[in-house]
Structure 1
Amino acid sequence: RLSLPLTTNQQPFQRMTCAFSVATLCAAAPGATAVYTRRPFTARSQRGRAITSIGIPATIADGRSAMTTVSQDDTGVGAAPAGARRTFSLYRPSRRDELVAAGLDVRIIHMVRHAQGTHNVEVPGTCQYRHPKNHDARLTAFGEQQCEALAAKSADVVGNSQMVVTSPLTRCVQTALGSFPTLAAELEVPFVAHESVRETVNFMCDSHRSVAILAAEYPRVDWSHFPADHDRIWAKYEAAVPEGYDGHRESGDLVSVADRGRAFFEWLSGRKETEVAVSSHSAFQRCLFSFGQDDGGVPVAPPQFLSGFGAAGGDEAEDANTRVVDYGEDEVFEVFMRGEWDNCELRTFLVAY
């Protein structure tokens, strides 16, 4: 698969995709300009599939009183931030010098969606996301090849990164280590597992194994940001739905996913690193870059029947629909960032504080 170069009158956006074991850096010839037409964002499900119908248990649909109360303190990450919800400003990489000159604290972020996982492979007659064998889904052999291909193409792009942040889910940890091997070999570059950038917590593939097992399996990664061994967010939603329920969980509570995105940017602002790589997930990325936007936000999200569950104010708070990010009225850049992410696709952008 080849990705056409997306350029403006300044410079190409940095985008790498891997397919058929090929990684392509979208860089046009000097002076070349791509014609890019804005189009409505495609209606997709939380995993990029068209939504048909979603069943909601009557005990949930009848009202939140049916839910078990679990305070956000029990899960830690994803709580509505103290004070008003904040919107963070994103920019294309070519504006870095301008923003620094204006006195802003600018961070370069290289974000990748994990490579192909076992849950991404269709098996007729089964739902791979729900299958117990895909609990904390790992990469396929093809996914590992995608990481190798990205590593070969991205070294010059991500080589100055001072930290790598990864979702705690195994497929993202594998993607981070496999796609950035040069950084992994530099022990002074921290690899940090962080709950805030994990996938929306819906199905078996979205629940992580115990932190003790993960830490033993991946000692190169810093797991110190996890105060509990079990998956706290999964446990929160398990307590909220009836026994036997197998539908969407956190995707029915996108305000909490958005607050996780805010928590990540807030946490990053307190770090010393100015250039970082991040290994994350498509549904989280879809929410991060689209939540609260004027065109309706996250494309065709499931009904928000758990919206704000456990969060201060939830979706009833005045600022609940506050967008996580803005794009400085740069429409082309916005379309680029909000588009669907391929497995093992890398995009680079700036966040300015």
Structure 2
Amino acid sequence: MYKMILEWYRRRFSDPDAISLLILIVLFFIIIYFFNNIILPILIAVVFSYLLETPIKFLMRSGLPRTLAVILVLFIFISIVLLGGIILLPLIWQQGLSLIGNIPSMLTFLNKYLMTLPQHYPELIDVGVFDTLIHSINQKVVETGNSLLQFSIDSIFSLLSVIVNSVLIPIMMFLLLKDKEKIWNYCSKILPKNRQVLNKVAMEMDKQISNYIVGNVLHIIILFCMICIPFGIMKLDYALLLAFIVAITVIIPYVGIIISTIPVITVALFQWGWSTEFGILMTVYIFIQIIDGNITVPLLFSEKLNLHPLVIIIAVLIFGGLWGFWGVFFAIPLATLVKAIINAWPISDS
């Protein structure tokens, strides 16, 4: 057993590149895991910088200097974010608080409906079981609502931090975009000289992460518009909030669509019941999901990741558990990183 382990170690770690790569990977995960709250503004700036790199390159190909292209694209981006924040976010927040306030009424309505079921299926359904279940859920919802209210009150005290980050992040984005080559050259100086494997992995991941971030952001925006327009036309309650939930949950592969569909069905049933409007809404919703899965996603994510669905789900669970929202957001690129490292890892023939 010892000889087998020793042989495996010699095959995998006899190359200096492998040691350098292993040290950098361990340092990366230690920094992200223990200092994620501190470096979160930097991470956000890096994500947005990847997002804006594509239009900056387009303007540079048109003849604009990089600094001028960065200033123009960054100005447009900040204007769009501010406009969306001023118009959409307050409406979504207001609808979210309204929905939380109406959940007890929805549960009461559901309770009354379920209480009629024993009349049709007396041998299968126990009224007491349903009554206890609904009462328990209702109590949990009230507790959750109170927690969210307390959270919203406590969050006022962190407003200063939000204001500081909202100023620092655009500045960091500008510097990252304007001095991209200088920053990379400086980082190259402090990295190990023997880094052929690291360069190979970095080149692959730079392309993968860029495509993934741009594709994901565009996917969220497109799906939000596709859902919001028909929901608004049909005057569905909390249309903006539901469209936001459907759009943002696409970052969770396979599971996101199930999570987002539950509130859509619940709100529609509470508003219309088993009616023609409910049937039309669900038909439109299913049609949009079909278009999204078969047209939008293939167009935006043309780069094939070649990852098994089970690997993607495991990556979401692991990285989401470690780093929350950003872990879920980057689950697929991180899984691709692991795959790229495994494929590029040097193996000694001795």
Class of the TM-score when normalised by the shorter of the 2 chains: under 0.3
- More helix per residue: 2
- More strand per residue: 1
TM-score normalized with structure 1 length: 0.25
Larger CA Rg, structure 1 vs 2: 2
Q: Which structure has more RCO (C-alpha within 8 Å, separation ≥ 6)?
A: 1
TM-score normalized with structure 2 length: 0.25
